[in-house]
Structure 1
Amino acid sequence: MKNSMTDAEFYVGLQHLPKPIYPFPDFIHPDFQKQREEYYQWIDTEYIIHSKEAREKHKKHHLTDIAARGCPFLETIDELRPLANYTANGAMMDDYFDRCTRREMYEITNRIISLLNGSESDEPAENGIFHLFWVLRQDALKCAIPEKLYNRFVKSIQDVLIGYSEEKVYYRSNTIPPLSVYLLIREATSGVQPYCDYVRMQKNYNQIPDEVFDHPHIRRIYTLCALMIGIHNDIISLPKEIHREGDTMNIVKVLQQEDQSTLHEAYMKAIELHDLYLNEFLILQKHLPPFEDYEEMVYNYVEDLGIMVSGVYAWHTNDTSRYVNGGYVQGEYASQ
């Protein structure tokens, strides 16, 4: 990417094209500002591996607002904190390790999961990415996340990190994947499955039996949430990714290659694909299986998954710092 460019060069006419629209309301957790203050402190104390310029950019991104908007009905900031940590640390970590190798990302993944599941129980000696994940586990224990739910949350985070690992093959070779490969990886790297798990921390959803959350109907809804958020993230970040070599995991680039189409044609097809997933979500929401005593509760849970999707998108549309011209943090990790 050029060190500087005009907004006209950066956006190449994309800002006037249609954007996703959701029929769900969006909310924000009442403690979002307190969570922001903690986020600033994480950056100052844990992210000393990043340059000062990168840290100052991260502060403007307000990444913990994604958690505050995605799960706005959590009762306390204590319950919000582990999700906010996963969100902000995961995003900043992804920025930092942007151009590491697949092997290196798997090694990083293994260390993170060992810290999250407690198999590596000692507190890391140095502040940083790994220390923050250790802190996440301590905070989860403090707010008494049910063990089964926490284990699912950690497994979902592991799947996200596996997705990060697999996309490195395409980033480092500057190769655009086929659509089928993109969809498989993007479902993971959208980072949404941990959110689908964490929505259960709201209201009384933990009363719903585990088999409901494993039902194919609900699992498909999770996939749709992940793909909708992955695609709308790609649409928002497209101007930045047009100008950076290696940013190949973007639905518009994938469709442009798949169909040998123009950028604008591929963009419109990406919107169409997103809307197909949204329509499928609404159909599945309307035609849930009869979950007997839990029918109303499951309907409300799925409704809150829609609010989660809308909330994450609201962060994207309210953000004026991360995906704008000159706002993105460049990867600073030096691959071995």
Structure 2
Amino acid sequence: MKTTIKDEEFYAGITELPRPKYPFPDFIHSDFQLQRQEYYDWIDKEYTFHSHAAREKHKQHNLTDIAARGCPFLKTIAELRPLANYTGNGAMLDDYFDRCTRSEMYEITNRIKALLTGDDPNEPADNGIFHQFWVLRQDAIQCGIPENLYKRFIQSIHEVLIGYSEEKVYYRANTIPPLPVYLIIREATSGVQPFCNYVALQKNYRNLPDEIFDHPYIKRIYTLCALMIGIHNDIISLPKELHREEDTMNLVKVFRQENKISLKKAYMKALELHDCYLEEFLLLQKHLPPFGHFGETVYNYVEDLGIMVAGVYAWHANDSTRYVNGGYVEGEYISPEKSEF
């Protein structure tokens, strides 16, 4: 992206177009300010490998607010902390390794998985991204996350990182993927599946049996949440991604290429698909299986998944630092690999 660009060119008339709307209420965790301060502190401590300018931009983004909005009903900041760690550290990992290769990202993915599962129990000697994932596991143990839910949470983080790995092929080739490929990768890279699993730690949802979390209705609802958030992120971040080379994983770009249509028509087509997913979510919520004596609890859980979607969107819609002109943190990692992918 150009280092300097006028706002008129940057926003390309997109701000006049409609944006997604949700029928779910919007909340934020009562400890979000305390979680912000912890976030600032670990950026200063853990991210010294980043430039000072990158660290200061990350602080302005308040990425842990996404966790505070997505799971506002967690009882304590101790319960919020692992999700906030995943959200902030995961987003900054994605920024930092923006231009790494697919194979490098898989190596990073495998090391993180070992740290999160405890297969590698050793605390990383150096501060940074990997150390923060080790800290995530320690915090999860300390606040007593049930083992079954923790396993779901970290498996879904692993799948997010696989998505990051696979999108590198398209980034490095500066190629826009076909729609079916986009949907598979974006479901992962939206980063939402871990949130869906973490919502289960709120209220009394941790008492639900695993077969409910594995039920096709619930798994489809997870997919819908991930795609809605992925698409609304594409819409919010579109101005930035129009002006950055290799930012090809955006639904508006996919539709513009596949249908040979104007930017505004592609934008409206992306919004239409988002709204179709929202309609499907509401329909499934209305027609959930009975689930026996867990029926009311499951309904409330799905309702809180909707609140999670609205919360994440509230962060995106209110953001005035990350996706604005000049606000994005450029990837600072330099790949030593000669491989194209």
Question: TM (normalized to structure 1)?
Answer: 1.00
- Equivalent residue number for residue 317 of structure 1: 317
- Equivalent residue number for residue 248 of structure 2: 248
The Cα shift of 1:49 comes to: 1.2
Q: Aligned AA for 2:134?
A: W
Q: How many matched pairs?
A: 336
The Cα shift of 1:19 comes to: 0.2
- 1:165-196 deviation digits (Å, cap 9, x = unpaired): 00000000000000000000000000001000
- 1:244-297 deviation digits (Å, cap 9, x = unpaired): 110000000001111111111000000000000000000000000010000000
Percent of aligned positions with the same letter in both sequences?
75
The Cα shift of 1:242 comes to: 0.2
Q: Secondary structure at the match of 2:227?
A: helix
In the TM superposition, structure 1's runs of 4+ consecutive aligned residues that sit over 2 Å from their partners are none
Mapped to 2, the partners of 1:56 and 1:82 lie a distance apart of 22
Mapped to 2, the partners of 1:299 and 1:153 lie a distance apart of 21
The Cα shift of 1:319 comes to: 1.1
- Equivalent residue number for residue 22 of structure 1: 22
- Equivalent residue number for residue 133 of structure 2: 133
**Structure 1 residue 232 and structure 2 residue 232: aligned?**
yes
**Structure 1 residue 296 and structure 2 residue 296: aligned?**
yes
**Structure 1 residue 121 and structure 2 residue 121: aligned?**
yes
Mapping 1:17-96, distance limit 5 Å:
17-96=17-96
Mapped to 2, the partners of 1:120 and 1:218 lie a distance apart of 32
The Cα shift of 1:318 comes to: 1.4
Mapped to 2, the partners of 1:3 and 1:188 lie a distance apart of 30
Mapped to 2, the partners of 1:118 and 1:126 lie a distance apart of 18
The Cα shift of 1:32 comes to: 0.0
Mapping 1:100-111, distance limit 5 Å:
100-111=100-111
Q: Aligned AA for 1:120?
A: D
The Cα shift of 1:305 comes to: 0.1
The Cα shift of 1:206 comes to: 1.1
Mapped to 2, the partners of 1:111 and 1:208 lie a distance apart of 31
Q: Secondary structure at the match of 1:201?
A: coil
- Equivalent residue number for residue 285 of structure 2: 285
Root mean square deviation, CA, Å: 0.4
Mapped to 1, the partners of 2:19 and 2:307 lie a distance apart of 18
Q: Aligned AA for 1:260?
A: K
Q: Aligned AA for 1:67?
A: A
- Equivalent residue number for residue 199 of structure 2: 199
Question: TM (normalized to structure 2)?
Answer: 0.98
Uncovered stretches (5+) of structure 2, i.e. residues with no partner: 337-341
- Equivalent residue number for residue 267 of structure 2: 267
The Cα shift of 1:162 comes to: 0.1
Q: Aligned AA for 1:29?
A: H
- Equivalent residue number for residue 257 of structure 1: 257
